[in-house]
């Protein structure tokens, strides 16, 4: 039951009906006895400025999902250095009517990979499939975490070239390279020796989608983490080959847990959030 002292949180996106975030955060608030609620709000591109103005007076914080993670930035009063590097914000805190942005996607991925595969990012040989908003956040995080080797494979090679250039300016010693998904020898080369393959394309979100690379090219010793939280073609085929695989649910839980910590200053009840997300 909501009262005058109840804190209000939300997630915004378009579409938003599928979001598991309200289940996770409401369960976490209940578990810790925090008087707060969390709702999903459908916000279109056109509706974003008006939503943000009203959020200054009505919300304590909110998450942001597709397609607003980058578009929101010019409207904010401040963002963290990691969100600025990523060009992406998924967590906004409201303080005294001002909006402060951060990104927790990469932290979520790092904790998920450690939890599921026992694999630290430091020293890892990583190959990322895709080069969208999430990859920007991940790539800078991987560079800062001390990954040994990073390869970025994307359909549109220019995006991967641009990101690789930026990464090398940020971390000149990083062993970093890119390839177009069409360039089979370069794709094979990039996947060879990878210990962790992170699937970050949107291929797999829809029924009937194929894989961005031939799953048979991924080394049998590698772990495959697919950021999508459904059974994608690449995940199913890698599992059939005996690779260790994970879908994106653990990342969703841990990015949400980090948002929760930022808003409340308290460690999130991760087990409670995991159970709620899986329900
Ligand atoms: N688990 C989690 O907590 C979590 C959190 C955030 C996001 N995600 C997932 O992460 C993924 C990426 O999100 P994003 O925000 O980075 O998306 P985005 O910015 O829209 O980027 C999409 C990426 O997918 C590629 N792509 C799209 N269709 C393709 C196709 N037919 N063949 C090959 N590549 C294709 C794009 O390549 P081009 O550059 O060539 O267009 C681009 O690299 C999504 O699947 C999303 O569901 C998961």
Q: Which of 201, 231, 229, 233 is nearest to 23 (CA)?
A: 229
- The reply to whether 121 and 40 lie within a common domain is no
Strands ordered across the beta sheet of 91-95: 36-42, 7-13, 61-64, 91-95, 98-102, 78-79
Beta bridge partners of 244: 223
Residues of the chain below pLDDT 70: none
Phi, psi of 252 (to 5 degrees): -60, -45
Task: For residue 278, tell me if it sits in a domain.
Answer: no
What pLDDT score does 4 carry? 86
Total domain count for the chain? 2
Q: Which residues of 191-215 are buried (b: 16+ CB within 10 A; e: fewer)?
A: beebbbbbbbbebbeeeebebbbeb
Residues whose CB is less than 8 angstroms from the CB of residue 203 and which lie 6 or more positions away in sequence, other chains included? 209, 210, 211, 212, 232
Who's near 259: CB < 8 A, 6+ residues apart?
A: 25, 61, 63, 90, 91, 104
Please tell me the distance between residue 201's alpha carbon and the centre of ligand 1 in angstroms: 3
**Does the residue 145 lie in any domain?**
yes
Q: Has residue 92 been placed in a domain?
A: yes
CA 131 to centroid of ligand 1, rounded, Å: 7
Residues 32 and 99 in one domain: yes
Q: Looking at residue 102, what DSSP letter applies?
A: E
**Same-domain pairing of 139 and 211:** yes
**pLDDT computed for residue 18 by the predictor:** 86
What are the residues facing 152 on neighbouring strands?
128, 178
Residue 58's CATH number: 3.40.50.10860
CA of 72 to the centre of ligand 1 (A): 18
Query: Do 131 and 227 fall within a single domain?
Result: yes
Same domain? For 64 and 33 the reply is yes
In short, whether 250's Cβ falls inside 6 Å of ligand 1 is no
d(CA 248, CA 268) in angstroms, rounded, equals 19
Task: Report yes or no on 155 lying in a domain.
Answer: yes
Residue 251 has φ and ψ, to the nearest 5°, of -70, -40
70 and 194 part of one domain: no
Q: How far is CA 240 from the centre of its chain?
A: 26
Range of the domain at 118: 106-246
Round to whole Å and give the CA distance between 217 and 20: 33
**259 vs 249: CA distance, rounded Å:** 15
Q: For residue 132, how far is its CA from the centre of ligand 1 (angstroms)?
A: 5
What's residue 133's pLDDT?
86
Check whether residue 266 and residue 150 sit in a common domain.
Answer: no
Q: Whose CA is nearest to atom 37 of ligand 1?
A: 155
- Say yes or no: CB of residue 107 within 6 Å of ligand 1: no
Which CATH number goes with the domain that contains 179?
Answer: 3.40.50.720
**Which residue among 25, 132, 179, 226 has the greatest number of ligand 1 atoms within 8 angstroms of its CB, and so is best to mutate?**
132
Catalytic residue list: 69
Are residues 202 and 82 located together in one domain of the fold? no
195 is a domain residue: yes
Q: How far does Cα 273 stand from its chain's mean position?
A: 16
End-to-end CA distance of the chain: 22
Do 53 and 167 have their domain in common?
A: no
Question: What is the position in ligand 1's atom list of the atom closest to the CA of 131?
Answer: 43
Closest by alpha carbon to 232, among 208, 265, 262, 256? 208
**Hey, what are 202's tokens?**
């949107």
């Amino acid at each position: 039951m909501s009262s005058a002292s109840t804190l209000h949180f939300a997630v915004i996106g378009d579409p938003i009906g599928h979001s598991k975030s309200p289940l996770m955060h409401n369960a976490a608030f209940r578990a810790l006895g925090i008087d707060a609620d969390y709702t999903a709000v459908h916000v279109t591109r056109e509706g974003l400025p008006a939503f943000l103005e009203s959020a200054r007076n009505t919300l304590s914080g909110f998450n942001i999902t597709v397609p607003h993670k980058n578009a929101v930035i010019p409207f904010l009063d401040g963002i963290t250095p990691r969100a600025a590097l990523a060009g992406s914000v998924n967590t906004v805190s409201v303080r005294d009517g001002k909006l402060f942005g951060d990104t927790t996607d990469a932290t979520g991925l790092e904790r998920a990979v450690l939890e599921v595969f026992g694999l630290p990012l430091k020293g890892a040989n990583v190959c990322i499939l895709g080069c969208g908003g999430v990859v920007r956040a991940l790539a800078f995080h991987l560079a800062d975490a001390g990954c040994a080797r990073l390869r970025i494979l994307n359909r549109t090679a220019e995006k991967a070239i641009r990101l690789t250039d930026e990464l090398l300016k940020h971390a000149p010693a990083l062993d970093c390279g890119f390839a177009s998904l069409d360039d089979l020898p370069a794709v094979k080369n990039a996947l060879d020796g990878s210990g962790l393959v992170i699937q970050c394309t949107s291929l797999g979100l829809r029924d009937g989608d194929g894989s961005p690379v031939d799953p048979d090219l991924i080394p049998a010793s590698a772990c495959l983490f697919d950021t999508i939280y459904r059974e994608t073609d690449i995940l199913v085929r890698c599992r059939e080959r005996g690779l260790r695989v994970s879908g994106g649910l653990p990342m969703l839980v841990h990015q949400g847990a980090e948002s929760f910590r930022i808003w409340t200053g308290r460690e999130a009840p991760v087990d409670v959030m995991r159970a709620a997300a899986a329900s």
